[in-house]
Chain A
Amino acid sequence: MSAARWAGGPAGGEVTVEQTERHPITTEADVVRVRQVVRGLAVTAKMSLVDQTKVVTAASELARNTLVYGGGGSMTVDIVHSGRRRGLRAVFVDSGPGIPDLDLALTDGWTSGSGLGLGLSGSRRLVDDFAIESSPGAGTTVRVVKWSR
């Protein structure tokens, strides 16, 4: 995650990273702050208003999952460049119980609690790149990227 380069650009090209920030997610106020931070960086990345709204909404969902199911964690966010394109990357990490069945968790409407079961599946639709890593007992990491159009 701290690597300055990785091959994950929109056309598979090399990506460079700047303005990395890390924010704790341990309270509901942190979830609100995550939304504000992501909004600010989405503006910096010159995203359209609709894309800003999509990425902020996705971040809100993922931050709440980190807090509620992961027992707290953090978001690391940065501006990424690939060629002439700019985007925003956010990585949500917790060391909570993990997700036993990822396919199930990514199913629209599936929740282990009292939610709508839309956070993971919905935020996947709202971003361009979505990766999740989790196993029981080992915590959960979700990485999303949204490119400016």
Chain B
Amino acid sequence: MDRIPILKMGNLLLVSIQVDLQDQLALALQDDLSERIVQTGARGVLIDISALEIVDSFIGRMLSTIASLSRLLDAETVVVGMRPAVAITLVELGLHMPGVRTALTLEHGLALLGAEVRVRLPEDESFDDLDADLTEAADPGASPGQAVSGRAPTGRPAPAEGAWTG
């Protein structure tokens, strides 16, 4: 069976759903994502559904489950790119997707995650100083270009060195 690719970027995981999802594929994505969150210590998950022509109760449930699972694993999920017709249909279907945060675009999704967790992108200039930054993050004059941390800097121990690369 095919799998939906999960890309790692800094401490984020990115998923772009490009196919008309069979139920098993949706379930596999759920499992794969939780595994990758644990494996990589990712703090955020961005799921792009702009290619999805519909979201029915099954896919909606998958998105809710991913959001709850990732929260338990200390990562935030943002679903981006929902088409307007899909949103209208979801409301009428009665599907609420509790716990799922949405943003219109990938950029907005990144901004939303940045307000929640300390987003790290590979091109971040301070990337190499990650551990130092985490311990010094209480300094309000943190270097520009860094995402603002929405949580106490001591909220999460610094990951093992090199955990963000590759």
Q: Which residues of A contact B (CB under 8 A)?
A: 28-29, 31-32, 35-36, 39, 49-50, 52-54, 56-57, 60-61, 64, 108, 115-116, 118-119, 121-123, 125-126
Pairwise interchain contact A31-B22, C-beta atoms closer than 8 A: yes
In chain B between 95 and 137, which residues have their CB closer than 8 angstroms to a CB of chain A?
95
Which residue of chain A lies nearest to B93 when distances are taken between CB atoms in the complex?
Answer: A122
Which B residue's beta carbon lies closest to that of A125? B92
Quick check: is B89 within 8 A (CB to CB) of the other chain?
Answer: yes
The reply to whether B23 and A50 contact each other, CB–CB distance below 8 Å, is no
Residues of A within 8 A of B58 (CB): 60, 64, 115
Residue on A with the closest CB to B90?
A57
Query: What is the bound-complex CA distance between A53 and B24, given in angstroms?
Result: 22
Contact of B54 among A57, A108, A115, A116 (CB under 8 A): A57
Q: Is the CB of A53 within 8 A of B23?
A: no
Given contacts A116-B95, A118-B93, contact A60 B24 (CB under 8 A): no
* CB contact under 8 A between A121 and B94, given known A32-B22, A36-B20, A53-B85: yes
B149 to chain A minimum Cβ distance, whole angstroms, is 35
Q: Which of B56, B84, B85 contacts A61 (CB 8 A)?
A: B56
Q: Is A118 a contact of B95 with CB atoms below 8 Å?
A: yes
Given that A49-B85, A116-B95, A118-B94 are contacting pairs, would A61 and B20 also be in contact in the complex, using a CB cutoff of 8 Å?
A: no
Instruction: Let me know if B6 is at the binding interface, CB within 8 A.
Output: no
> In the complex, what residues of B have CB within 8 A of residue A61's CB?
56-57, 93
User: How many inter-chain contacts with C-beta < 8 Å in the A-B complex?
Assistant: 73
CB of B153 closer than 8 Å to a CB of A: no
Asked if B61 is at the interface of the complex by the 8 Å CB criterion, the answer is: yes
Chain B residues, Cβ within 8 Å of A35: 20, 53-54
Measured CA separation A28–B89 after assembly (Å) = 22
> Which B residues are CB-close (under 8 A) to A57?
54-56, 89, 93
Q: Which residues of A contact B22 (CB under 8 A)?
A: 28-29, 31-32
Q: Mark B64-103, 1 if CB is under 8 A from A, else 0.
A: 0000000000000000000111101100111100000000
* B60 close to A (CB within 8 Å): yes
A116 with B23: CB separation less than 8 A: no
State whether B93 touches A126 (Cβ < 8 A).
yes
Once the chains bind, are A53 and B61 in contact (CB under 8 Å)? no
- On chain B, the residues within 8 Å of A56 by CB distance are 53-54
Q: How far is the CB of A45 from chain B (nearest CB, A)?
A: 16
The 4 closest A-B pairs by CB, nearest first: A122-B93, A53-B85, A60-B56, A28-B22
Contact of B95 with A122 in the complex, beta carbons under 8 Å: yes
30 A-B contact pairs sorted by A residue (CB < 8 Å): A31-B22, A32-B20, A39-B53, A50-B88, A52-B85, A53-B53, A53-B83, A53-B85, A53-B88, A54-B88, A54-B92, A56-B54, A57-B56, A57-B93, A60-B56, A61-B56, A61-B93, A64-B56, A64-B58, A115-B58, A118-B57, A118-B93, A118-B94, A121-B94, A122-B57, A122-B94, A122-B95, A123-B93, A125-B94, A126-B93
